[in-house]
């Protein structure tokens, strides 16, 4: 039997997603849940933040969906595999290992595309690994930049080769919406460490910032394999990062603000790479 797709009606008590509120917004990850957002940003609820940063759900493959409030579990994804255990795919067959029995049993409420419904995290990562793109994303993290989670989520959406966090190891995972589980995330303590890594991998590093001497991203021929390096929200690219970059590229702006949000800039730059190289 074909697995249901998100939004299809499947099984008793499992509502269709059509017409439901945007699940991301309803979970408050994009700033809808003011209470959660304030706690996450002002450090009042440190315990909660630490739980989110540490990915406390490593123990179980299906735990990702357990982190959602009940009402959201009911709105997102698909229910138990239709027809019950008798209709499950052959878990001992060639493709059987990709399925997570817990998800087959209880439904898959994760924020994954239909292709990966009921798959284990490991199987999804392995499949993504077969077709990751040539660009890497690096972001400086000197004072716990809240944008990094969002950058990771976008990097996952565009199937970046990896995300590199430069500076502090810990970063706020909230905006990642659990996509960090499907994304290779590496840490480098300093820009020099990142550079040494890029050197070994023979990857040019391109800074992304609107700085004196930067050149327009628009029309710039981005290398197929490269590292796109972003600065921190408040201060922008560090001196070390500026010095490390082959070129620094700016995104054209036309309004009054000095800059756009770092996560928004990262999304634009990744998409610029996608426009030039994806599918070709």
Ligand X SMILES: C[S@@+](CC[C@H](N)C(=O)[O-])C[C@H]1O[C@@H](n2cnc3c(N)ncnc32)[C@H](O)[C@@H]1O
Smallest separation, CB 263 to ligand X (Å): 8
> Is the CB of 125 or the CB of 260 nearer to ligand X?
260
Select 108 or 233, whichever has its Cβ closest to ligand X.
233
At closest approach, how far in Å is the CB of 259 from ligand X?
3
Q: Which is nearer to ligand X, 191 or 265 (CB)?
A: 265
Among 203, 201, 141, 133, residue whose Cα is nearest residue 166: 141
Residue 39 Cβ vs ligand X, minimum distance, rounded to whole Å: 23
Closest approach, Cβ 238 to ligand X, in A, equals: 9
CB 138 within 8 A of CB 160: no
Bridge partners, residue 173, by sequence? none
Cα angle for residues 116, 82, 9 (degrees, 5° grid): 85
Cβ-based nearer residue to ligand X, 71 or 190: 190
Residue ranges binding ligand X (CB under 6 A):
208-211, 230-231, 233, 236-237, 250-251, 253, 258-260, 262, 265
Shorter beta-carbon distance to ligand X: residue 29 or 238: 238
In whole angstroms, give the CA distance from residue 68 to residue 76. 10
Structure-block tokens of residue 64: 């990702």
Question: Which residue has its beta carbon closest to ligand X?
Answer: 231
Query: Which position has the token pair 């890029």?
Result: 198
- Is the distance from CB of 206 to CB of 222 less than 8 angstroms? yes
In 3D, which of 128, 131, 106 has the Cα closest to residue 116? Answer: 128
In angstroms, give the least distance from the CB of 220 to ligand X. Answer: 11
């Amino acid at each position: 039997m074909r697995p249901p797709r998100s939004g299809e009606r499947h099984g008793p008590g499992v509502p269709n997603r059509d017409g439901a509120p945007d699940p991301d917004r309803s979970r408050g990850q994009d700033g809808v849940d003011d209470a959660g957002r304030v706690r996450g940003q002002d450090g009042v609820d440190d315990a909660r933040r630490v739980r989110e940063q540490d990915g406390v759900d490593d123990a179980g493959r299906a735990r990702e969906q357990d982190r959602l409030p009940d009402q959201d579990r009911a709105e997102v994804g698909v229910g138990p595999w239709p027809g019950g255990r008798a209709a499950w795919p052959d878990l001992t067959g060639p493709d059987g290992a990709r399925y997570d029995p817990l998800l087959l049993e209880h439904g898959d409420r994760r924020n994954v595309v239909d292709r990966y419904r009921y798959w284990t995290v490991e199987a999804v990562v392995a499949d993504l690994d077969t077709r990751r793109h040539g660009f890497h994303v690096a972001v400086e993290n000197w004072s716990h930049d809240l944008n990094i989670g969002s950058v990771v989520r976008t990097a996952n959406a565009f199937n970046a080769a990896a995300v590199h966090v430069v500076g502090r190891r810990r970063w706020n995972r909230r905006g990642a919406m659990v996509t960090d589980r499907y994304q290779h995330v590496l840490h480098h303590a300093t820009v020099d460490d990142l550079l040494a890594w890029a050197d070994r991998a023979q990857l040019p590093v391109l800074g992304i910032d609107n700085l004196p001497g930067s050149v327009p991203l628009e029309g710039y021929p981005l290398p197929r394999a490269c590292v796109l390096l972003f600065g921190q929200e408040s201060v922008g690219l560090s001196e070390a990062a500026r010095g490390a970059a082959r070129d620094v590229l700016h995104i054209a702006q036309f309004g009054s603000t000095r800059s756009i949000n770092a996560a928004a800039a990262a999304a634009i730059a990744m998409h610029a790479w996608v426009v030039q190289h994806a599918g070709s």
